[in-house]
A and B are shown apart, each in its own frame.
Chain A
Amino acid sequence: MAQAETHVRGESAAQLLRRAYEQAYEAGWTDGLPIIPADRDTVLEFIAASGRDAEELIGVLPPRKGRATVEVLAINAVMAGCRPEYMPVIIAAVEGLLDPSYPLELMQVTTNPMTPFLLVNGPVRQKLDINYGTGCLGPGWRANATIGRAIRLILYNVGGALPGVYSKVAFGSPLRYSYICGENEEENPWTPFHVERGFQREQSTVTVFKASNFCNISGGEGVGPEEILRQIATNMPPMYGGGDGALLLLGVNHARSLYEAGLTKRDVQERLWQLARLPIDHFAETFSSTECAAGRGDVHSVWRAHSPDEMYVVVAGGPGPQNVYIGAGMPQTRVIRGL
C-alpha cells in the first residue's frame, strides 16, 4: 500500500479536525464519516499496543493486493476512532479474513453487498467493553462501532474495494459501516460459540462470517419451544447468495426458554434446519434447481441450509422477545493474541 503523508494546518483544534476530515474525504480514505487524523505518534502508540513490529505483514488483501502490515492496520484503526488496545482484535479479524477458504476477493468485488460479520468471544469482551447485551448491534458502543469500522476502512484502503473501481457493489449496505457484536456468554445456557469450535472458554477469539443481511425476528413469547422455533424459522427463508448457512443470534429470553424446555443447542439447530424450508413451487425454477443441485432441497421443498451444521446459533442481545437472523456462513475463528 502506498502511504501518503500530508500536512494540515488550522487556527483551532476544531478547524484542524475539520480540515483533516475534508482532506481524507477528498483523498478517498474514509467511509464518508469523519476520521481521526493518523499522526505519527498516535500510530506508533497503536503499533506498540499490538505487541508486534510495525513492518510485520499480516497478509495481502485482495483485489488490490495491498500489504496489510501492522503499521497500515494501525493507521486505519486510528482513523476509525479505535483505542490502541483494540489492535489485537483487528489483527485477528484480518487474519481470519485472509484464510484461504474465506471468499474475501469475491466479497470485495461482487455486485452483492455481502460483508464480514465479526463475533467476539471470551474475556476480551469485558476488557474492551465490546457490547454483547442490550443494543449490541446498534450505535452507542465505541468498541463495536470503531473495530467494525476499522475493518471496513482496511478493506477499502488496503484492499482497494471502494465502490466504483474494484468493487462493483450495486447498492452497498449500511451493514458495511460496522457489523460486529460479542456473544452474551453470561446468559448463554449452552456452550459459547468459540468453545464449540475447539477453543478454551478463557481464550478470546474473533470469528468472521461471510454475511449477507440483517433480519430482526420479533415475537414468540410464552408459546413454548416448538412455536418459538417455528416463529424464527419462518423468518429464515432460503435466499439467493445465502447458501453458506444461517447465523441465529438467539435472544436471551428465548435461549432460556428453550434450555428450560430441555433442548440442547444441537436440538435447536436440527429443528430450525427442518423448519426453515418452503415449497419448491414458491421459487423461480432456476433458483430451486440450483439449490437442489447444491443439496439444499428435494422434490418437495427448498431448504435454508445444507445441514444442521450450517445453522449457527449464538446467544446475544438484551431482554425481549427478539432474535436476529443473519444469512451468514464460512466462519473463520482466530485467537486474539497480545491483549
Chain B
Amino acid sequence: MVATDTFAQFARRMSSTQGYPYIIIAVTPNPIRQLEPDALRPRAEAMLQTVIDGLTLPPAEIERRLKDVARQQIRPQGVVRSSVPV
C-alpha cells in the first residue's frame, strides 16, 4: 500500500478491516496533490524498496517487523469506536 504520512494510520486500519493488519505501507510526506511529475518521481523512487519488500518478504518477517507499529496505528490510545472490527 502507498500512502502519505498524514493518512498512514487510516491506511493501516483500513487494511486491518480487510484482514491485513501487517501490510507494508510505503509512506511519503503529505501533501502531494500540488506536485508536478518531476517532483513526484523522486518521491516514488524513494518508496520503491519498501514496495519491493512488501511484495517479496515472507509474511512472518513482515509481521515481525510491523507488530508494534501496527498495534500503535490500529489501536492508539483513544482510537474511535467502530462497527468495523479493527
By a beta-carbon cutoff of 8 Å, the part of chain A in contact with chain B is 2, 25-29, 63-64, 156-157, 160, 162-166, 168, 286
Contacts and interface: CB of A to CB of B under 8 A. Distances in A.
A27 B83 contact: yes
A120 B29 CA distance: 44
Interface residues of B, number: 14
Name B's interface SS. Answer: loop
A166 B84 contact: yes
B79 interface: yes
A228 B34 CA distance: 40
B62 interface: no
B13 A164 contact: yes
A25 B82 CA distance: 9
B81 A27 contact: yes
B17 A160 contact: yes
Contacts of A64: 17, 84
Interface string B70-86: 00000000011111111
B84 A162 contact: yes
Contacts of B84: 28, 64, 160, 162, 165-166
A160 B14 CA distance: 10
A36 B79 CA distance: 25
A28 B10 contact: no
Nearest to A161: B84
A166 B82 CA distance: 10
B7 interface: yes
A163 B9 CA distance: 12
Contacts of A162: 80-84
A305 B13 CA distance: 37
Contacts of A63: 14
A165 B7 contact: no
A164 B79 contact: yes
Contacts of A26: 81
Nearest to B86: A165
A114 B15 CA distance: 24
Contacts of A157: 83
Nearest to A1: B83
Nearest to A4: B83
B82 A28 contact: yes
14 contacts: A27-B81, A64-B84, A156-B83, A160-B82, A160-B83, A162-B84, A163-B80, A164-B10, A164-B13, A165-B10, A165-B14, A165-B80, A166-B10, A166-B17
A209 to B, nearest CB: 25
A254 B52 CA distance: 63
Contacts of A25: 81
A162 B79 CA distance: 11
Contacts of B80: 28, 162-165
Contact of B7 (A2, A156, A163, A168): A168
A101 to B, nearest CB: 23
Which residue among B10, B83, B85 has the maximum number of chain A CB atoms within 10 Å of its CB? B83
Contact of A28 (B17, B34, B81): B81
A168 B81 contact: no
Contacts of A2: 85
Given A27-B83, A28-B82, A165-B80, 20 more contacts: A2-B85, A26-B81, A27-B81, A28-B81, A28-B84, A63-B14, A64-B17, A157-B83, A160-B82, A160-B83, A162-B83, A162-B84, A163-B80, A164-B10, A164-B79, A165-B10, A165-B14, A165-B84, A166-B17, A166-B84
